[in-house]
Structures are given as structure tokens and as C-alpha cells.
Amino acid sequence: MASAELPLADTLARPLRDLRISVTDRCQFRCTYCMPREVFGRDFAFLPRAELLTFEELTRLGRVFAGLGARKLRLTGGEPLLRRDLERLVAMLAGIGGIQDIALTTNGALLARKVRALAAAGLRRVTVSLDSLDDAAFMALNDAAFPVARVLEAIAAAADAGLAPVKVNMVVRRGKNEESILPMAGHFRHSGHVLRFIEYMDVGTTNGWRLEEVVPAAEIISLICGQWPLEPVTPAYPGEVASRYRYRDGAGEIGVIASVTQPFCRGCTRARLSADGKLYTCLFAGAGHDLRGPLRAGASDQELRAQIAAIWTRRTDRYSEQRTRQTSRKKPTRKVEMSRIGG
């Protein structure tokens, strides 16, 4: 059992520090690398409302995780802003002792109208997804006819609400949007925001991932450095997933998340909670551990704490380090979809 002297750690001595909470499996977008429309179509069966954890249940679990060492909470989806009255959940989570940071990852579609209420409730940071500045490329990726301008408006609104710098995530997929790398870098230089390039990952099994479509982080950095020289930045904290670089001319910084070519499994401190109450110990996990059942059956906080601790201390996940062998198989290993547990 965890204690102040012996922090909770898994089999690779990785502590539990971050909890990503999915509040819904629904999204208005049909991004080709996450929720391709041919799978998540009109007849797709999303989770019924009764199966979603309530705000009270999420807060209770957040408190238990905080007691085990979690210090950062991030709300994800699906698209988390589709969950009604999300600012109420933020305020409830902000009241948990030990939690130092509450963040949100969003596609930006609803952010501008809700960001001030979220910030007032206790939201500290926001990450917005934007895969291109070119409307045609961006709409082809989001498959929802959603324009770039509205995402940029959402980023500006978040900054105006006091949530700057905003992190902007760009998933780079060869043949789809790699030509947008330099325009994106140029746009966000001097903006005060942090652009992060993410290697296209094989999350889930529905996005048709192929290794050939990955644009390596080293290639991205080399391309940008050829235009605007960069230098590496020391990680801000142990386990930081993004490798950071700053422009030598002082125009700000960028990050690259290289899960495919430069795995960072050994420093991963993240647990993931799905909207229906399953605990996943890896983004690429095949199955989760049910917490909703015990929660609704009357389990005490101590019993929930013991269950979570037992799961985490047995954790062995390091999928990205093992990916090369796994991708050589003819049939891919079935994994939980990103829309269930966020990125």
C-alpha cells in the first residue's frame, strides 16, 4: 500500500502522478486517425447516459487517485465539452486536496463559449487540437466541415480567459498534412502558445495505421530547424512526454511527442479512466479494469484505493518500446479506441 515514505509505483518504479479522465465517448468530429466515419457512423452505439460516471463518482475517484499520488488531472473524451455543465465537474475536482493542476484537451469547437466559466471553476490549462492551417487539409482530417478559423478563435478565447499559453496539438500523418508543418510553426512563432507535433500513433484498431505514414519527430525538427534554428530545452519535470525545443531567435518553443520513434514508456506516470469507469494503465491497452461496478456496489474509499493500488503496482505496460515486434504480426493486436480514453 502507498504511503508518504513509499510512493505508489509499478513494476518499473513508475509513480502514479497523472490521471486522464474521459467524460464522454462522443465527438462532433470524425478525425481519420481517431474516429473514422466508416466505423463511427450514424448507427454507431455510443455509451448510454446511465453508463457514464456521474460528476460525483468522478470526483470521488479523483479523490482516491489523489490519495495514491496523482497530482494532475486532465479532462478528455471523445470531446469533453459535449458533456453538459462540465464547469461544475471542474469546480468539484478543484476542491480535491493534493491536486495541483486541472487541464482540458478539446477540439475547440465549443471552447470559445465555455472557456470563461471553465477558467472561473478552476481549469488551469487547455490543449487544443489543430492539424493544419489549410482549410481543405483540416476538413479532410476532421471530416466534419469544421473550419480552421473557429479553432483559432477558440485558442484566442482561451488566452483571453487567462489560460495562456495554450498548447496546440498537431498530429502529423504522411500524405495527409506534413506540408502543413512549416506553416503551423510559422503561425505560432511569437504567439506565446506552444505548438506540439505528434507522431501518428496506432491507438485502437480502427484508424488503419501504417508505420509508413508516420513522420518521425527527427524529420519534423530537421525541417523546422532548416527554416528557424532550434535548440533543445531541458524537461520541465520527470516523465514529460514532449521533447521541447526553443527557437534560437527567442520566438518561443515547440514540442514533439515521438511515441513511435522515440518511446518514453519508462517515464510514463499516466493512468486513464474511461467515461464508463474503466481504468486503463496504457494508451495502447487492450482491456481496462472496472471501477464503476465496485463504486456503485458500495465499495468504500479504502476498498477502491486498494483495488487501484493493486492494479498499478502490477503494471508492466511498455507497448511503444515493443511496437516493432508487434507491428510485424499479420493481425494487429486489438486495443482500446482513443475516443474511449482520450489521447
314-331 burial by CB neighbour count: b if 16+ within 10 A, else e? ebebbbbeebeeeeeeee
Over the stretch 112-144, which tens digit does the pLDDT of each residue have?
Answer: 999 999 999 999 999 999 999 999 999 999 999
Is residue 184 included in any domain, yes or no?
yes
Domain extent, residue 197, equals 18-341
- The answer to whether residue 264 scores a pLDDT higher than 50 is yes
| pTM of the full structure | 0.93
Is residue 281 included in any domain, yes or no?
yes
For the chain, give the percent of residues with pLDDT over 90: 78
Counted domains in the chain: 1
Over the stretch 182-199, which tens digit does the pLDDT of each residue have?
Answer: 999 999 999 999 999 999
C-alpha cell at 59: 470526483
As a whole number, mean pLDDT of residues 19-43 equals 93
Is residue 13 included in any domain, yes or no?
no
Which pLDDT score is estimated for 325? 56
Contact 181, 151 (CB under 8 A): no
Report how far apart, in Å, the C-alpha atoms of 55 and of each of 21, 49, 106 are: 11, 12, 19
In the block, cell 495541483 appears at 100
Q: Which residue has the higher pLDDT, 337 or 157?
A: 157
Contact 19, 280 (CB under 8 A): no
Is residue 294 included in any domain, yes or no?
yes
Range with the poorest average pLDDT among 18-27, 108-117, 274-283, 318-327 = 318-327
56-81 burial by CB neighbour count: b if 16+ within 10 A, else e? eebbbbbbbbbbbbbbbbbbbbbbbb
- The answer to whether residue 206 scores a pLDDT higher than 80 is no
Is residue 81 included in any domain, yes or no?
yes
Contact 197, 177 (CB under 8 A): no
What amino acid occupies position 185? A
Apex 155 CA angle, 152 and 156, nearest 5: 90
Which pLDDT score is estimated for 327? 57
Task: Report d(CA 35, CA 26) in Å as an integer.
Answer: 10
In the block, cell 478559423 appears at 149
Which pLDDT score is estimated for 285? 84
Q: CATH code at 146?
A: 3.20.20.70
Is residue 9 included in any domain, yes or no?
no
Is residue 207 included in any domain, yes or no?
yes
Which pLDDT score is estimated for 326? 58
Over the stretch 290-299, which tens digit does the pLDDT of each residue have?
Answer: 999 999 999 9
Task: Report d(CA 5, CA 47) in Å as an integer.
Answer: 40
Is residue 280 included in any domain, yes or no?
yes
